[in-house]
Each structure stands twice: as C-alpha cells, then as structure tokens.
Homo-oligomer: A and B are copies of this chain.
Amino acid sequence: MKVTVSRKAHFNAAHRLYRKDWSDSQNNAVFGKCNNPNYHGHNYEIIASVTGEIDKETGYVIDIKILKDIIKTEVEEAFDHKNLNLDVEEFKTLNPTAENIVVVIYNKIKAKLKSNLALEVTLYETPRNFVTYSGK
C-alpha cells in the first residue's frame, strides 16, 4: 500500500529574472517587470510530497518530522530571507524562474531521502502561480 505524505513549508526571498548574457532590451522583452534590476520578491510556499510503502510497525511512510527537518535544512535555511540571485549558489548561474527553483529544491530534498521513496515538489510563487516537478 503506497501512500503519499505531504508537508507544506515556506520561505521569503527576493529575485530577478534575467540572463547575464542577454542585452537589457532582450531581458525586458522576455521577462518584463520580473527583470527589475533592483529585484522584487515573494512569499514562496512549497509542498514536498513523498510516496512509499507504509511501514507495518510504525504506520508511517516517513516520519513527517524527518521530512520537516530536511525541508528546514535544505530549503528554509538555504533560501529564507535571501536574495536568490546573489545569496544562493545554485542561482548565481541559473535564472531563478519558478521552474528552475522547483527543480533545484527537488534535487536537494531527493538527495536526502531513502532511495525507495518517490518525491514530488510543488512551489507556489504566488497563490495564483505555481509549478510542480516529480523528477520525470
């Protein structure tokens, strides 16, 4: 019996969408107001969903405290109250679109999970815009 266990968390960060190798006008044409050189920001919400067999003994797929701690270390401490472009290693060379952020978060959490557990991550940039990645 495979069950999915989900945990919601959040972090607040500044970011700017642009490519260093593009001209200003090209960045503005593609990224519009998200390309403000002084940055803007979001309250990002994430849902990390872990799928696996229920352990007969404990009744857990994964102790949600373990999942909570992985999210805390890998996501909250790494991204919260940060400027994604300037303060976070992964985005110094990678445009921090919601799509790229969710893949980075997926990879960071997946590396800390037992290999028999599947993962899906949803990242809300705003309550109306969100992205999902499951490693496929």
- Chain A residues packing against B (C-beta within 8 Å): 1-10, 12-15, 17, 19, 30, 32-34, 36, 38-43, 49, 54, 57-61, 63-65, 80-83, 86-87, 94-100, 102-103, 126-133, 136
How many copies altogether?
A: 6
Q: Which of the residues B5, B58, B98, B127 comes within 8 Å of A43, measured between beta carbons?
A: B127
A43–B2 alpha-carbon span in the complex (Å)? 24
Q: A82-B36, A133-B1 are in contact. Are A41 and B59 (CB under 8 A)?
A: no
Interchain Cβ contacts under 8 Å between A and B, 29 examples: A1-B103, A2-B133, A3-B102, A3-B131, A4-B131, A5-B131, A6-B130, A8-B128, A13-B41, A14-B38, A14-B41, A15-B41, A17-B59, A30-B58, A30-B63, A34-B81, A36-B82, A36-B87, A38-B82, A38-B86, A39-B83, A40-B41, A41-B43, A49-B132, A54-B103, A58-B95, A58-B97, A59-B95, A59-B99
